[in-house]
Amino acid sequence: MKTSGAEEAAIGLEVYGTDAPGIGGRLKRSPEDFLVEEVSAYPPRFDGGPFTIAKVTAQNWEMNRLVRQLSKSLGIARERIGFAGTKDKRAITSQLMSFPVPSDRLMQLSLHQIAISDPYPAKRGITIGDLVGNAFTIRVTETELHDDALSTAVADTTEQLEALNGFPNFFGVQRFGAVRPITHEVGKWIVKGDLEKAVMTYAANPLPNEREESREARKRLQEEGDFEQALSYYPKIMTFERTLIGHLSRNPGDHAGAISTLPSNLQMMFVHAYQSFLFNRMLSERVRRGIPLDRPVEGDVVLPVDRNGLPQHDGGVPVTAVNLDLVEKQVRQGRAFISGVLFGTESVLAEGEMGEIERAVIEAEGLSKEDFMVPLIHQCSSKGTRRELLGIVKDLKSTAREDEVTFTFILNKGCYATSLLREYLKKEGLMDY
From 246, 255, 40, select the one nearest 134 (Cα to Cα).
40
Give the largest Cα separation in the chain, rounded.
66
Alpha carbon distance 146, 17 (integer Å): 23
d(Cα 190, Cα 310) in Å, to the nearest integer?
31
Contact indicator for 359, 348 with CB cutoff of 8 Å: no
d(CA 114, CA 103): 16
Distances (CA, A) of 396 to 136, 150, 407: 10, 17, 7
Q: Is 104 among the residues known to form the active site?
A: no
Strand partners, 160: none
Element (H, E) at 342: strand 336-342
DSSP string, 226-290: -HHHHTTTS-TT-HHHHHHHHHHHHSTT-HHHHHHTS-HHHHHHHHHHHHHHHHHHHHHHHHHHT
Sequence-distant (≥ 6) Cβ neighbours of residue 307 within 8 angstroms: none
Nearest to 332 by CA among 392, 246, 266: 392
Yes or no: say if 301 and 342 are a contact pair by the CB < 8 Å rule: no
Per DSSP, what are the bridge partners of residue 303? 337
Catalytic residue among 33, 88, 371, 432: 88
Residue type, 207: L
**How long a stretch of residues is the chain?**
433
Identify the burial level of 269 via C-beta atoms within 10 angstroms of its C-beta, where 0-12 means exposed, 13-18 middle and 19 or more buried.
Answer: buried
- In a 13 Å sphere around the CA of 281, the CA atoms on its Cβ side amount to 21
Residues acting as catalytic residues: 88
